[in-house]
Amino acid sequence: MVLRAPDAERLMLEGPAGGLEALIETPRIEGREGAPVAAFAVVCHPHPLHGGTLDNKVVYTLARACEHFGTPAIRFNFRGVGRSEGVYDEGRGETEDALAAIAYGRRRWPGAALWLGGFSFGGVVAVRAAAQARPTCVVAIAPGVTRIDASGVAPPACPWLIVQGEADDVVPADTVLDWARSLSPVPEIKLLAGAGHFFHGRINELRGALLEFLETIP
């Protein structure tokens, strides 16, 4: 399979608090032009009040890992970020934003499976949205369980992965692991020794962990 640079499309999606700024990347695979889309991904970014945007490097890495398998990826800015309308809503409205992006993907690619993921704040939003969205898989990278309420959240009823830096200086690894292990089913957990919250110098390892997991998804 030969992947070419994806087609990139910037647009405004309809969200519950107004327009949502989005970037959609559609892989181009030599010999498979025009083939039906089997799955699409929605990727959620870090905390809106702490510089999180759809252009975050970890969000980019997750989106590109999905695209490696021919899966189009939707990255979007939560309400109040970039050109997205509305104001920060402590995770409640942001979960609705994610569901709006998912609804757009399902209209665009009817019948395609959903791969849902996010980083930090966005990782918890993805887990929160999964109960209603019914994804085929979920990826939560360094989920920000100390930044957004994750108590009482039903765990995804599908294969899901947590990638966590052991030396996370924003969301302590022990807190994330205690939370993850309290859930049923328990997610697959990949702990990267010595890695911080933003995976500085460890992006290639992060990408490898994502590819290894996503390769198992039908």
Instruction: Please tell me the pTM assigned to this model.
Output: 0.96
Residues 6+ apart with CB under 8 A from 121: 44, 45, 46, 47, 48, 52, 91, 94, 144, 147, 148
Cα–Cα dist 186/2, whole Å? 35
Compute the average pLDDT of residues 28-40: 80
Q: Which two tokens stand for residue 112?
A: 């395609």
- 131-143 pLDDT per residue, tens: 999 999 999 999 9
163 dihedral zone (left: phi>0; alpha: psi -120 to 50; beta): beta
Q: Does residue 202 carry a pLDDT above 60?
A: yes
**pLDDT confidence of 110, banded at 50, 70, 90?**
very high
Q: Which two tokens stand for residue 212?
A: 């290894």
Compute the average pLDDT of residues 204-208: 98
Give me the domain span that covers residue 79. Answer: 3-214
Q: State the CATH number of the domain containing residue 97.
A: 3.40.50.1820
Residue 85, judged by CB atoms within 10 A of its CB (0-12, 13-18, 19+), counts as middle
Compute the average pLDDT of residues 195-212: 98
Residue 3: what pLDDT?
A: 61
Q: Which two tokens stand for residue 217?
A: 């998804």
- 48-68 pLDDT per residue, tens: 999 999 999 999 999 999 999
Number of domains observed in the structure of the chain: 1
> 69 to each of 20, 73, 101, 183, how far by Cα in Å?
26, 11, 20, 29
Cα–Cα dist 46/91, whole Å? 11
Which residue stretches of 85-144 are H helix?
Answer: 92-108, 121-133
Residue 31: what pLDDT?
A: 62
Residue 151: what pLDDT?
A: 84
% residues pLDDT > 70 (the chain): 96
**pLDDT confidence of 1, banded at 50, 70, 90?**
low
Q: Does residue 32 carry a pLDDT above 90?
A: no
Q: What is the dihedral sign for C-alpha 129, 130, 135, 139?
A: positive
Residue 29: what pLDDT?
A: 74
**pLDDT confidence of 43, banded at 50, 70, 90?**
very high
Cα–Cα dist 2/174, whole Å? 40
